[in-house]
Chains A and B, each alone.
Chain A
Amino acid sequence: MEEKPKVVITRSRRPEPAVRNFAFTADMLPADGALKEYRRHAWETYSRLAMPAATEEAWRRTDLRLLPADTFRLPTRGAFRELAAVPEELLKPLTADRHGGQVILLPGGARASLDPELVRRKVIFTDLHTAEAENPQLVARMAGDLVRPEEGKFAALAGAFSQNGVVLYVPKGVTIEQPLNSLLWGPGVGLAYVSHILVWVDEGASVTYVHESASPDESGASMHAGIVEIKVGEGANLKFVELQSWGRHVWNFSHERVSVGNQANVDWIFGAVGSHLTKNFSELDLAGEGATGRMSGFYFADGDQHLDHDTQQNHLAPHTTSDLLFKGALKGHSRSVWQGMIYVAPAAQKTDGYQANRNLILSPDARADSIPGLEILADDVRCTHGATVGKLEQEPLFYLKSRGIPDKEAERLIVEGFFDPIMQRIPFEGVRARFQQAIHEKTAAV
């Protein structure tokens, strides 16, 4: 045995503050319903799992030591009456003239509406509580099917405590023309919003679904933990738009997975402009032969925002196609992390996977980390990837200014141009307009 070296401590290092844990207890779990078993399992998992540590690869670049975890409480029933109301503009349809249905999730409550024609065609689109009561078997079957509580502390937390959520079921062969829209509205400070979204687009069905999370900017801290589980059945078609517009005081965590069946297709669009910190795991499972999935991400961080998107494209069956493009701009002291992985299973021959992440840094103190990855276990595949982090160049700015365009506007034009390839992938003018608005506001701000 080797002799232990003698260690002489001349100066003590300041101890690293530990990540604080939540103060949630079993008596805070939602009342027993269709998800009783699932929640109990999620609660056990949650209790067993430690808070993520910076030593874990997925959390190396996203620091939770300042998360005031122990201060958050769950909103009580009817809490929305005391809090800021939903701004009208968030209720407007973004992808068409009108909604086919709308679910509004409020602190401690929800409202839902659905076109009677869709009700007649057995479409289910409502909040989680209502669905638990009205469609218990369906909800129990869907929850935990794609995202397991074991995937992480926040997944387990969301599974156990989701006091709110959305359930969408589109029966076989049903094509929904008008888009469905849901809004998670999370005003107030010191609150933990926990949501669970369950979507099943059954065989041959087709729908456009837009979900937004939003809150006003407030001082203090709030948090959101969410799960999104989406199953796109054989030959089905889903356009899914996710907008993240949390206030700048919100710590936002989510685990999301879309599973795409035989010859089915998903067009998955992300827009992230809000939150204090976001850690988002988004996975695309191309589970059936010939499945295709496109993921398009737009993010723009400023101030001290920290946006961390972890994406995974899993080719699990032959002849599957994935195409991911995430583009982000960064201002102020903000930081972004994109970590992407294309995984090709041994059986997934003849697949085509693409991933690219492009970042534009607009200020000297902003930073973007871009980490692509490939794990290919099949031999007859085509996989390409690219990652870039670029700075705002002086020559284009000078060129635009030489045409009389003021500094800020010149910068905005360059940023708009940078985001154009993402805009080209978004088939909804209303969504593009929202991104344009974010570009305007963020480039104009000092």
Chain B
Amino acid sequence: MSELVIKNLHVSIEGKEILKGLDLTVKQGETHALMGPNGTGKSTLAYTLMGHPSYTVTSGEIWFKDKNIIEMPVDERSRLGLFLAFQYPVAIPGVTVANFLRTAINARRRAENPQDKGINILEFRNMLKEKMEMLKMDNAFAGRYLNDGFSGGEKKRAEILQMAALKPEIAILDETDSGLDIDALRIVADGVNALTGPQLGALVITHYQRLLNYIKPQFVHIMLDGRVVESGGPDLALHLEEQGYDWVREKYEEEKTSIR
């Protein structure tokens, strides 16, 4: 069983420390929600886990499938089974969704076996069609340029489509609910729910409780100032909805003060 274990992670961007000793473990088959106010480092964590070059890990460890992946190239992390659903998916003009996905799938096959001739076209088409139906996407979607001129909802659905096609073991969903209306949110959440299960561990990063009405996490974590300060079950999210983040902030500030 795959496990993502983050230990005492410190991360800086342009010399400014954003993550300040973060600990978190996500196992395959579990759904975790990571919540917290804006600017606490949630997206920094997502990008760092995937290996974005702008983020520097100054200390700490990230273990995935018993490998410390801090030095591992981005594409290798993906092929090992890690996935990031982007908050802001990037447009790739001129490259169709189908061409892109086939390239990504073939890159996986070729990493396993350099002699691999690539996925059978018919097999690929059927797979893609099935996943698109699940996400209530029109067939024509496969022929559109990746994220180019997509609406907010289309972009997020395209992220989930990629997740479905690439079958990761641990997926990080960075603010997947942002910019979605209620219908789009429901479709995306249904897609995620269809994929979660014993094969997938999910870390759902969200600012709002709203998404958690549709995606039910077993574990909820609260992040503040670059660290996970509170962890619990689904009731923690409900508590947040009622009380807001102030009580966490107060508690955490008190802690800091008492340490001093």
Give A residues with C-beta under 8 Å from B: 394-396, 398-407, 409-410, 413-414, 416-421
Known: A403-B166, A404-B166. A420 touches B94 (CB 8 A): yes
5 smallest beta-carbon distances between A and B, as pairs: A417-B94, A420-B94, A404-B78, A417-B95, A399-B90
| A400 in contact with B53 given A417-B93, A418-B94, A420-B93 (CB within 8 Å) | no
A410 to B99 alpha-carbon distance, docked (Å): 12
Q: When chains A and B are docked, how far (Å) is the Cα of A394 from the Cα of B55?
A: 13
Q: Is the CB of A406 within 8 A of B75?
A: yes
B13 in the interface (beta carbon within 8 A) = no
Checking B52, B78, B145 against A403 with a beta-carbon cut-off of 8 angstroms, the contacting residue is B78
Residues of B within 8 A of A403 (CB): 75, 78, 100, 104, 107, 162, 166
- In the complex, chain A residues whose CB is within 8 Å of the CB of B89: 399
Whether A413 lies near B84 (C-beta < 8 A) is no
- Specify which chain A residues have a CB less than 8 angstroms from the CB of B95 in the assembled complex: 413-414, 416-417, 420
Q: Which residues of A contact B107 (CB under 8 A)?
A: 403-406, 409
Q: How many of B's residues come within 8 Å of A, CB to CB?
A: 30
Chain A residues with CB under 8 Å of B104's CB are 400, 403-405
| Complex-state Cα separation, A396 to B33, whole angstroms | 27
B182 within 8 A of A: no
List residues of chain B with CB within 8 A of the CB of A421.
Answer: 94
Most buried by B among A398, A400, A403, A405: A403
The answer to whether A419 touches B94 (Cβ under 8 A) is: yes
Is B129 positioned at the interface, with any CB of A under 8 Å from its CB? no
- Cross-chain contact B90 with A404 (CB below 8 angstroms): no
Whole-angstrom distance between the alpha carbons of A403 and B107 in the complex?
Answer: 9
> CA A397 – CA B78 in complex, angstroms?
14
Highest count of chain B CB atoms <10 Å: which of A406, A407, A417: A417
User: Quick check: is B27 within 8 A (CB to CB) of the other chain?
Assistant: no
Asked if B58 CB lies within 8 Å of chain A CBs, one says no
Given the complex, which residues of A lie within 8 Å of B100, measured CB to CB? Answer: 400, 403, 413
List 18 contacting pairs A-B, 8 Å CB cutoff, sorted by A. Answer: A394-B53, A399-B92, A400-B92, A402-B51, A402-B75, A402-B86, A403-B104, A403-B107, A403-B162, A404-B166, A405-B103, A406-B75, A410-B75, A413-B100, A417-B92, A417-B93, A420-B94, A420-B95
Cβ A404 vs Cβ B75 within 8 A: yes
B212 within 8 Å of A (CB atoms): no
> Closest Cβ of chain B: how far from A178's Cβ, in Å?
30
CA distance A401 to B73 in the complex (A): 9
A414 to B84, CA, bound (A): 20
Q: Name, among A394, A399, A414, A421, the residue most crowded by chain B CB atoms within 10 Å (CB to CB).
A: A399
- Taking CB atoms, residues of chain A closer than 8 Å to B93 are 417-418, 420
Q: Answer whether residue B111 sits at the interface, using C-beta atoms and an 8 A cutoff.
A: yes
Cα-based distance from A406 to B145 in the complex (angstroms)? 20
Q: Which of A398, A406, A409 has the most CB of B within 10 A?
A: A398
- The answer to whether the Cβ of B108 comes within 8 Å of any Cβ in the partner chain is yes
Report how far A403 CA is from B83 CA in the complex, Å.
Answer: 7
B residues in contact with A395, CB < 8 Å? 90
User: Given the interface contacts A402-B74, A404-B75, does A416 sit within 8 Å of B111 by beta carbon?
Assistant: no
Measured CA separation A413–B146 after assembly (Å): 11
What residues of chain B lie closer than 8 Å to A396, measured between beta carbons?
90-92
Q: How far is the CB of A375 from chain B (nearest CB, A)?
A: 32
B168-201 CB contacts (< 8 Å) to partner A:
none
What would 9 more interface pairs be, CB under 8 Å, given A398-B53, A416-B95?
A399-B89, A400-B100, A401-B74, A401-B75, A401-B78, A402-B50, A402-B74, A404-B108, A406-B107
Does residue B249 face the partner (Cβ distance < 8 Å to A)? no
Q: Which chain B positions have C-beta within 8 A of A419?
A: 94
